[in-house]
């Protein structure tokens, strides 16, 4: 296997689609993530309890990583491991919608609120695809 030849051939390819972050509807930039974290932290500080405020029109951050979530995650991120979203025998098949909705509700995620934005996060972009 000539890896150098493959790399050089791949590096010369022109991407089919060029989309800047500002044009992409489903991609957020670093500033949006930082704004969400800061807003969530302020909201958590103002609440006397640690529950999410359903009236808050802020942004929810869902982290879909597995065990690496415990090693570090964005402040205010809610853990929803991708492995819980898929069939245990076939990770290409999502669990039934009712089960996924229940998992979101159990974590206080109001996925029906049109005023809420949900940011999905993981380490490399692979496990986040299950959440999307």
- Which residues are CB-neighbours of 7 under 8 A, at least 6 positions away? none
Query: Residues 6 or more apart from 84 whose CB is under 8 A from it?
Result: 95, 103
Q: Are 103 and 97 contacting, i.e. CB atoms less than 8 angstroms apart?
A: no
| Closest to 42 measured CA to CA, from 29, 28, 57 | 57
Residues classed as catalytic = 122
Record the tokens describing residue 43, joined without a space. Answer: 């909201």
């Amino acid at each position: 296997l000539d890896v150098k030849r493959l790399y050089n051939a791949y590096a010369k390819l022109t991407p089919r689609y060029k989309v800047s972050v500002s044009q992409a509807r489903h991609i957020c930039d670093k500033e949006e993530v930082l704004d969400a974290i800061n807003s969530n932290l302020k909201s958590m500080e103002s609440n006397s309890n640690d529950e999410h405020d359903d009236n808050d029109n802020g942004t929810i951050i869902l982290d879909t990583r597995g065990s690496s979530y415990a090693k570090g995650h964005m402040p205010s991120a809610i853990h929803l491991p991708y492995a819980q979203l898929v069939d245990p025998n076939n990770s290409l098949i999502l669990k039934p919608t009712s089960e996924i909705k229940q998992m979101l509700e159990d974590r206080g995620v109001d996925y029906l609120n049109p005023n809420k934005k949900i940011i999905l996060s993981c380490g490399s972009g692979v496990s986040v695809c299950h959440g999307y």
